[in-house]
């Protein structure tokens, strides 16, 4: 389009109580998604902000239990990470047969610059007992879970190794500003490389535990239950994945030159290749215009296409440095997590 | 939900150049949709506002060609109509096989209070020659149409009888305020009962013609081309239709009491019945809480349901006073207009 586009996209609303809204990712070319366009994914209503939110106790299997104040964290050496967060249910609407739950299209993903304190720095202060096995994070958000009478708090654990990873941070800033309340202000966990459910918002407390945590958001939700009743396993690392931002699926185009473009990402390693195909047989490399050395951001890719009249199906397949590629068929699972089949856009050219 | 919902929905973005965004209709219970939530459907970029926009010439097969000024219209006896506008492509995304074009879900519909001057009052001033057959409306918006080199203006005609209908108005207000620019300021046509393509925005001129207009938005687009190559016919009157606003499709619910609710509308007559079914065989009436005598607004309906564990498909079928009911299967057509098959929401109760 020759004209400067002045129209603004909006978040796409999936539900309001609790609030679940998608990033209009097809329309965003920015590397740092503004907070107002960051997808919102909540299990419960927003918690009420109280002064207690500015205190973060770390207890349990530690040598010295300690209560950190917000100010302590601001004064410590910061860690800054540009990285994406993707909801494990992103693209759920694409599964066939359909899966119940929030019908996310492709926009339950966003990316920006997180700043905070490495969790390992905090755990260095408290120390760990030898029995420490996992670190449990509880948020201030709570409510009933799938028809149960009792209120539960949003809570998730990390294995001790992931908790001690250099890049697992207690974040207090996003894109150079304090976190917005809808995204966890004052303090949230940011676990790069893992699906978003791990990055607990509105942190209330951290407990080092000597057992395997089995809360509802860990042992019930965020578990892959395969179709064939083969063993279930937890949702952790972000799958290699991509989206086609242009053209949009089922668009009508004119013949001639078009730029096919999109994003590709992976929770492990970096994106090494993004290919497209018009027949599912012959694949050609696209140009990776932003090939980040950092592991945690998406890569932008594009391909110049001289479109001829007719109907075309554009397929896109990303590969990461761990050798993982998007599969032809998604791994269907009962709760609809981790969809990452080859991306597709059907277009009619006339 | 017991809590007051403070979260706000947004328009759902389909494209930005031109701007096409849906009303988040599932989340709105208002009878008058605020302008900011009114769906935006454009064929071209927004036109530039110039002083000429405040002048409306009526020429052609009239006795006295006349140029109306905006102020003339404001001074004439107003007609106020509460009515809906639905895009002919609303629900296009539901067609199978898929149809190319904007993939509207259920929100290319909005409703509010329009105020303006009856077109017949203007035509009473200009008079009509006996040869007058149609009235042609041209908007200020223009651009290329599906690969053609030449710019075309958005233009549509109405048969003389529809143009002279008491409720066909040149609107200058929406919900008590001047039209917003994105919705046709200063003057637009409002043709109640017809799909939205008839209600030309940013009116530039009106011409009474003695032939059948065949512009691209009349003879090419907005035409039903049936699957079986039976004769095509123009898109005009809004089909009888409905949506289920609650529960949402593929939602997970808890057992117990739920209110199934939604909207139903028709371009002819009034909604006389909205039924729901859980098996497609047995249908029960819902309660029509807002049964308007006016022809042009949607009706709200609801049904109290005691949900039992398991998966359920809720079907909803509206009937109007002309005896039209939503069909089991949509009338598939090549350009994807007028989808109005029985509404459906699949839910899992646990």
| B7 → chain A, closest CA residue | A16
> Residue A341 has what pLDDT?
98
Residue A58 C-alpha, separation from nearest chain B C-alpha, in angstroms: 32
What is the DSSP annotation of A254-321? -SEEEEEEEEEE-SSS-EEEEEEESSSS--EEPEEEE--SSSSS-EEEEEEEEE-SEEEEEEEEEEET
Q: What is the pLDDT along chain B (350 residues), one digit of tens a residue?
A: 334 457 999 999 999 999 999 999 999 999 999 999 999 999 999 999 888 889 999 999 999 999 999 999 999 999 999 999 999 999 999 999 999 999 999 999 999 999 999 999 999 999 999 999 999 999 999 999 876 778 999 999 999 999 999 999 999 999 999 999 999 999 999 999 999 999 999 999 999 999 999 999 999 999 999 988 899 999 999 999 999 999 999 999 999 999 999 999 999 989 999 999 999 999 999 999 866 666 799 999 999 999 999 999 999 999 999 999 999 999 999 999 999 999 999 999 99
Note whether A350 contacts B147, CB cutoff 8 Å.
yes
Residue A240 C-alpha, separation from nearest chain B C-alpha, in angstroms: 26
Note whether A7 contacts B24, CB cutoff 8 Å.
no
Tell me the pLDDT tens digit for each residue of B324-342.
999 999 999 999 999 999 9
Cα A240 to Cα A274, A315, B149: the distances in Å are 11, 15, 42
- pLDDT above 70 coverage of chain B, percent: 97
The partner residue sitting opposite A254, judged by closest CB among B17, B27, B147, is B147
Say how many residues make up chain B: 350
Note whether A348 contacts B255, CB cutoff 8 Å.
no
Q: Are B312 and B237 in contact (CB under 8 A)?
A: no
Residues in chain A closer than 8 A to B254 (CB atoms): 146-147
Residues in chain A closer than 8 A to B45 (CB atoms): 3
The partner residue sitting opposite A9, judged by closest CB among B16, B98, B250, is B16
Residues in chain A closer than 8 A to B10 (CB atoms): 10-13, 21
Q: What is residue A112's three-state secondary structure?
A: strand
Residue A197 C-alpha, separation from nearest chain B C-alpha, in angstroms: 19
Note whether B13 contacts A17, CB cutoff 8 Å.
no
Distant-in-sequence, close-in-space partners of A242: CB < 8 Å, separation ≥ 6: A262, A263, A264, A265, A274, A301, A316, A317, A318, A326, A343
The rounded average pLDDT for each run of 10 residues, N- to C-terminus, in chain A (350 residues) is 67 96 96 97 94 94 98 97 97 97 97 98 98 98 85 97 98 98 97 98 98 96 93 98 98 96 95 97 92 80 97 98 97 97 97
Note whether A10 contacts B3, CB cutoff 8 Å.
no
Note whether B252 contacts A146, CB cutoff 8 Å.
yes
Residues in chain B closer than 8 A to A98 (CB atoms): 250, 346
- Residue ranges of chain B whose CB lies within 8 Å of a chain A CB: 1, 3, 5, 7-13, 15-17, 19, 21, 24, 27, 45, 98-101, 103, 146-147, 248-252, 254-255, 311, 346-348, 350
Residue A268 C-alpha, separation from nearest chain B C-alpha, in angstroms: 31
Q: How many helices (H) and strands (E) does chain B have?
A: 3, 24
User: Model ipTM?
Assistant: 0.92
Distance CA B309, CA B311 (A): 7
> Residue B2 has what pLDDT?
36
The partner residue sitting opposite A103, judged by closest CB among B5, B17, B250, is B250
Distance CA A82, CA A294 (A): 8
Tell me the pLDDT tens digit for each residue of A136-151.
999 999 999 876 778 9
> Residue B3 has what pLDDT?
42
Note whether A147 contacts B255, CB cutoff 8 Å.
yes
The model's pTM is 0.94
User: CA-CA-CA-CA torsion for A76, A82, A88, A89, nearest 10 degrees?
Assistant: 120
Distance CA A243, CA A84 (A): 14
Q: Are A200 and A139 in contact (CB under 8 A)?
A: yes
Residues in chain B closer than 8 A to A252 (CB atoms): 100-101, 146
> Residue A291 has what pLDDT?
62
Nearest to B350 by CA among B318, B313, B310, B323: B310
Q: Are A349 and A254 in contact (CB under 8 A)?
A: yes
B40: which 2 tokens? Answer: 């935006």
> Residue B149 has what pLDDT?
78
> Residue B50 has what pLDDT?
87
Note whether B17 contacts A1, CB cutoff 8 Å.
yes
Which residue do the tokens 């207000």 mark? B173
Distance CA B128, CA B63 (A): 6
Distance CA B5, CA A261 (A): 38
Residues in chain B closer than 8 A to A101 (CB atoms): 250, 252
Residues in chain A closer than 8 A to B11 (CB atoms): 10
Distance CA B344, CA B316 (A): 6
> Residue A50 has what pLDDT?
87
The partner residue sitting opposite B101, judged by closest CB among A3, A24, A252, is A252
Residue B221 C-alpha, separation from nearest chain A C-alpha, in angstroms: 13
Cα B233 to Cα A75, A153, A163, A254: the distances in Å are 71, 58, 65, 26
> Residue A3 has what pLDDT?
42
A318: which 2 tokens? Answer: 């990303």
């Amino acid at each position: 389009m020759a004209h400067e586009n002045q129209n603004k996209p909006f978040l796409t609303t999936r539900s309001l109580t609790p609030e679940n809204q998608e990033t209009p990712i097809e329309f965003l070319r920015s590397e740092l998604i503004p907070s107002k366009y960051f997808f919102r994914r909540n299990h419960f209503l927003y918690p009420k902000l109280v002064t207690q939110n500015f205190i973060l106790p770390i207890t349990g299997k530690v040598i010295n239990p300690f209560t950190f104040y917000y100010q302590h964290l601001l004064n410590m050496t910061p860690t800054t990470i540009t990285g994406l967060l993707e909801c494990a249910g992103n693209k759920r609407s694409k599964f066939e047969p359909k899966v119940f739950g929030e019908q996310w299209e492709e926009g339950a993903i966003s990316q920006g610059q997180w700043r905070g304190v490495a969790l390992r720095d905090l755990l260095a202060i408290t120390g760990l007992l030898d029995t420490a096995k996992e670190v449990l994070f509880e948020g201030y958000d709570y409510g009933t879970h799938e028809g149960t009478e009792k209120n539960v708090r949003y809570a998730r654990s990390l294995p001790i190794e992931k908790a001690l990873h250099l890049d697992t941070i207690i974040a207090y800033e996003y894109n150079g500003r304090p976190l917005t309340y809808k995204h966890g202000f004052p303090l949230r966990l940011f676990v790069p490389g893992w699906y978003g459910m791990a990055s607990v918002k509105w942190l209330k407390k951290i407990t080092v535990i000597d057992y395997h945590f089995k809360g509802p958001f860990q042992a019930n939700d965020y578990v892959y239950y395969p179709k064939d009743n083969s063993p279930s396993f937890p949702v952790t690392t972000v799958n290699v994945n991509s989206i086609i931002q242009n053209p949009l699926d089922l668009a009508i185009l004119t013949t001639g030159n078009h730029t096919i473009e999109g994003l590709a990402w992976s929770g492990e390693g970096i994106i090494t290749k993004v290919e497209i195909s018009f027949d599912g047989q012959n694949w050609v490399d696209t140009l990776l215009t932003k090939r980040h050395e950092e592991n945690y951001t998406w890569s932008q890719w594009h391909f110049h296409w001289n479109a001829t009249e007719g109907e075309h199906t554009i397929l896109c397949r990303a590969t990461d440095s761990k050798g993982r590629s998007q599969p032809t068929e998604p791994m269907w699972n009962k709760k609809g997590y981790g969809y990452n089949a080859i991306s597709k856009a059907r277009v009619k050219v006339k």
